[in-house]
Chains A and B, each alone.
Chain A
Amino acid sequence: MSWAQILVDGVALGAAYALVALGFVLVLNAAGAVNFAQGDLVMAGGFAAIVLASLVPLGGIAVPGLVLAPMVAVAGGLAGWLVAEIAYRPLRRRPPVAVFISTIAVGIMLQHGANGLFGASERRTPPMMAGEPFAFAGLTVSRQSLAIVATAAIVILLLHLLLERTQLGRRLRAAAEDPDMARAIGIPVRRLTALAFALGAALAALAGLLLANVYFVTPTAGLAFMLKAYIAVTIGGWGSLRGAVAGAFLVALFEVIAARLLNASLADALLYAALLAALLLRPQGLFGEAAGRRA
């Protein structure tokens, strides 16, 4: 199996991680809060896709993921809004660690809610579109990998446009940078924070739909995604959107390359060791920390 193939697989993985990390950073910037439920929202997105797939009546034909994607994103958005209302809003004037705990609690509820509703077996979401993998230049690229990269690219582009080019995006950023000032000039900070949570959760849910086709989903899957997002955001630059994406790709590539050269357990250990080294050598990450966040 050539290195090119390994890299192709790594890129698809990185694209999915990027969605998760982006969602994490959005909430981080908007609320100054670490959303510990981000990984479990990915898991919930996977299960939501499975539930929606069974509800959409297509007369026995398997529902392609492409049809489900917008529905899953909306479901994720609703879930994110709910998380903002129950876990963030009551605690927004409290020390940030309170939101840490409340999102941990939400994550626990998501995980065990899924365990109660669906049981513990692994599940698979439908592929974005059915069909044989593409083969060219000796590489095999599955349709799902392409779909993941395409979806991530589209989403990142849309997000960039939203935040940089629209009024809404500017207000979001203003609310994130200085909520009191933003409120003073009439920006509805509370609604925008909820929107940030909703967006973050929608991204997570999409990632869940995409990933669960290749890697399956089970109620306990959330923590691993949470840790990966946390690592990606930190090495990319805390609070930086570009950094989140870059960090996600780095983590994914590191994973596949290390697994190729050593064994998988060692790859995990090496990731953490590399992380430690990165923190000691260049703690501000690749793109540096985005201006003053209350962490």
Chain B
Amino acid sequence: MNARSILAAAGPAPVWVLAAAAVAVYGTLAQSYGLKLLAIAGCYTLAVLGYQFVFGRIGALSLAQGAFFGLGAYTSALLALKLGWDFARTLPAAIALAVALAAIVGASVLRLGSHYFALATLAVAELLHILAVEWLRLTGGGNGLPGVPGFRLFDFTIPAGWPAALFVWIVVAMGALLAMNYAASLYGDGSRLLRAHPLAAASAGIGEPGRRMAAFLLSAAFGAAGGALYVHTLGVVSPEALQFDVMVLILCMTVIGGRNAVAGAALGALLLVHLPEWFRAFEQWALFAYGAGLLVCIIAAPEGIAGAVEALWRRMFGPPRVAVLAAPAPPSEMAAPPPAGDTIVLAAQALGIAFGGNRALTGATFHIRAGEIVGLIGPNGSGKTTLLNLLSGFYRPDLGRVLLGGHDVTALPAWRRARLGIARSFQHAALADDMTALDNVAVASAECGPARLANILRLPGRDRRRRQARARAFAALEAVGAAASAGKRGADLGTSERRLVELARALVAEPKVMLLDEPAAGLSEAEKHALQSLLRGLAARGIGIVIVDHGMPFLLPLADRVVCLDAGAILAAGTPQEVAADPAVRRAYLGGAAP
């Protein structure tokens, strides 16, 4: 391995190490004021790390992070002032209270869509602010709680200045370690796909409500920890700490630092804490300059500074190559004998759905057997994709049922059906750009099942499940003939590569039935032939395959049966030859001309 590939594999980690060293050197030289700013930046770094869980990795716009921060500050201050607790006790108490609040709030509002969730969290934050202002006896009202002592651990008081700043950053480092473990785990990969392509994630079996709740709870825990550190660094907390401005600040720090990189959290916090200080010379115009600086930052680096550094690193040294895995896939059920040839794996009974006043599908009844390939054709708007969505669980039907292996799954959401064995691909292959093809496939492996949050407590790199999942993913990529693309980033894959990777992702979960939406679109003739033999091979394993396609030439030699839809109803069904010859089909779809 030459130097270039070593650097490529390392990612921009050396940059971060250098930056951390620079900050440490600055810390040793700084005066009390500079150290205080460093400590404050550390507190915000924790809050931003927490925010990254819910906003960066899950993509949910929570507007309560500032509130958790302030809540942590008030809790720690009150316990220290009224009960004389030391930091070793007030910190866990602050975290516990914030997590409890997040659990209550999350249970009610996490199911809401993005901007509703945002507004709901905003409402909670504003309510907390009003509480802090009005509940004079507890919180001191507008005056807040001054005179909060510094960091006391058991009987020892950490002196102000560099010891306190160092203490803050030690706590931050512990939090950063947890965050890095999260990101580098199979669980974290799943969350990344969930943020980038929620639908694709659902089809990969990722989407259980516990995941969002876990992210929200983590954000609350980290936020409160940051707040607790903050109040003992500054010695005061007032309702201003619960104002919306703090939330805006944390949001800006997250986005400008880079919402997916742990290093980004520190970068954003350090930058935005120091920026107003650098602009102090402008006096009354300092914050105007700060706003301008913010604008410049976001335009210059919309993915955040960490994102820009990573992109630059990749441009200089190329993407990291994933070593071809020597470990074989664990003996898996992939080699299991195919089920009996005429078992019905998936059935639709009189499915119907309407959108607004438009009845998109009526009375759709059909079935797929194990090892069967069924083609689904019809003009645009006839309901093909709708039917696929109904079968896979992305739409809930108004009428009818969906049965998987005889069990009624109509009420189950898409991610649940995915885990039960319905795999789906999309018209535009939805892969996470910043993950390798291998990881894009690995997340769908059955290993990534229920929330394995305990992973974040491991030492980094020791995630056995991730290794197993990757091994399975590699096998799946080999099966579809895309093993060569395993190490490439999602953003760097070509169209046909993307399709194959998506197919591998559908395959790795060992599905009983695969629903493929126009898998051949955009492929060359040779690629189409390869795809046809691949699909035949998969069917031979006993997987039922439904293919939506426009091109009869693709389906004719491939499909066992073809179903033709028109205007939301099944027009004809039978062998490909029968359907192609059907005059009604030719009128509706082929316009009378021969296929």
Contact = CB atoms under 8 A, between A and B. Distances in A.
Contact of B288 (A113, A227, A265): A113
A97 B299 CA distance: 12
A279 interface: yes
A115 B282 CA distance: 13
- Most chain-A Cβ atoms within 10 A of its Cβ — which of B124, B127, B133? B127
Interface in A97-143: 97-98, 100-102, 104-109, 111-113, 115-116
B61 A97 contact: yes
A95 B302 contact: yes
A102 B292 CA distance: 9
Contacts of A106: 291, 295
Interface string B260-287: 0000000000000000000000001111
B158 interface: no
A156 to B, nearest CB: 23
Interface residues of A, number: 40
Contacts of B302: 91, 94-95, 98
B109 A280 contact: yes
Contact of A108 (B126, B256, B290): B290
A230 B119 contact: yes
A265 B294 CA distance: 33
Among B114, B286, B299, B303, the one with the most A-chain Cβ atoms within 10 Å of its Cβ is B299
B123 interface: yes
B198 to A, nearest CB: 12
Contacts of B255: 97-98, 100-101
Contacts of A112: 284-288, 290-291
A279 B119 contact: yes
B299 to A, nearest CB: 5
Given A279-B116, A283-B116, A295-B114, A102 B295 contact: yes
Contact of A105 (B120, B259, B294, B303): B294
A263 to B, nearest CB: 10
Contact of B130 (A98, A100, A265): A265
Contacts of B294: 101, 104-105, 108
A234 interface: yes
A268 B126 CA distance: 9
Contact of B298 (A102, A268, A279): A102
A279 B120 contact: yes
Interface stretch (B170-178, B244-252, B440-448, B483-491): B244-252
A276 to B, nearest CB: 5
B123 A273 contact: yes
A109 B288 contact: yes
- Tell me the interface secondary structure of chain B in the complex: helix
A275 B119 contact: yes
A87 B295 contact: yes
Contacts of B114: 295
B461 interface: no
A2 B378 CA distance: 65
Interface in A267-293: 268-269, 272-273, 275-276, 279-280, 283
Given A101-B298, A108-B294, A272-B126, A223 B244 contact: yes
A105 B295 contact: yes
Contacts of A254: none
Contact of A283 (B61, B113, B256): B113
Given A104-B252, A268-B130, A283-B112, A275 B298 contact: no
Contacts of A272: 123-124, 126-127, 130
A234 B298 CA distance: 27
A111 B255 CA distance: 21
B129 to A, nearest CB: 9
B63 to A, nearest CB: 10
A234 B112 CA distance: 12
B246 to A, nearest CB: 13
A234 to B, nearest CB: 5
A104 B126 CA distance: 18
Interface in B90-110: 108-109
Contact of A279 (B109, B284, B295): B109
B295 A109 contact: yes
A291 B114 CA distance: 15
B123 A98 contact: no
Given A101-B294, A104-B252, A283-B113, A116 B299 contact: no
Contact of B292 (A105, A116, A231): A105
Contact of A90 (B108, B123, B299): B299
A238 interface: yes
A94 to B, nearest CB: 4
A125 to B, nearest CB: 23
A95 B113 CA distance: 17
B47 to A, nearest CB: 17
B133 A265 contact: yes
Nearest to B127: A272
Nearest to B301: A98
Q: Output the residue of A101, A113, A115, A269 with the most chain B CB within 10 A.
A: A101
B338 to A, nearest CB: 40
Interface in A57-114: 86-87, 90-91, 94-95, 97-98, 100-102, 104-109, 111-113
Contacts of A269: 127, 130
Interface in A216-261: 223, 227, 230-231, 234, 238
A242 to B, nearest CB: 16
B115 interface: yes
B193 to A, nearest CB: 15
A116 B127 contact: no
A276 B119 CA distance: 8
- Among A86, A91, A115, A279, chain B packs the most CB atoms within 10 A around the CB of A279
Given A115-B284, A272-B126, A238 B115 contact: yes
B492 interface: no
A282 to B, nearest CB: 10
B288 A101 contact: no
A72 to B, nearest CB: 22
B134 interface: yes
Greatest chain B CB density within 10 A among A112, A115, A268 is at A112
Contact of A101 (B116, B126, B251, B290): B251
A231 B256 CA distance: 26
A278 B22 CA distance: 50
Contacts of A95: 302
A105 B130 contact: no
A116 B284 contact: yes
B62 to A, nearest CB: 12
Given A98-B302, A104-B252, A265-B134, A295 B291 contact: no
A272 B286 CA distance: 33
A99 to B, nearest CB: 9
Contacts of A238: 115-116
B470 to A, nearest CB: 28
A223 B109 CA distance: 24
Nearest to A98: B302
A231 B109 CA distance: 16
Interface in A23-68: 34
Contacts of A280: 108-109, 112, 120
A115 B115 CA distance: 31
29 contacts: A34-B115, A87-B295, A90-B299, A91-B299, A94-B303, A95-B302, A97-B259, A98-B255, A100-B255, A101-B251, A104-B251, A104-B252, A106-B291, A106-B295, A108-B287, A108-B288, A108-B294, A109-B295, A116-B288, A223-B244, A234-B119, A238-B115, A238-B116, A269-B127, A269-B130, A273-B127, A279-B109, A279-B116, A295-B114
Interface of A: 34, 86-87, 90-91, 94-95, 97-98, 100-102, 104-109, 111-113, 115-116, 223, 227, 230-231, 234, 238, 265, 268-269, 272-273, 275-276, 279-280, 283, 295
Given A101-B252, A109-B295, 4 more contacts: A94-B302, A102-B299, A223-B244, A279-B119
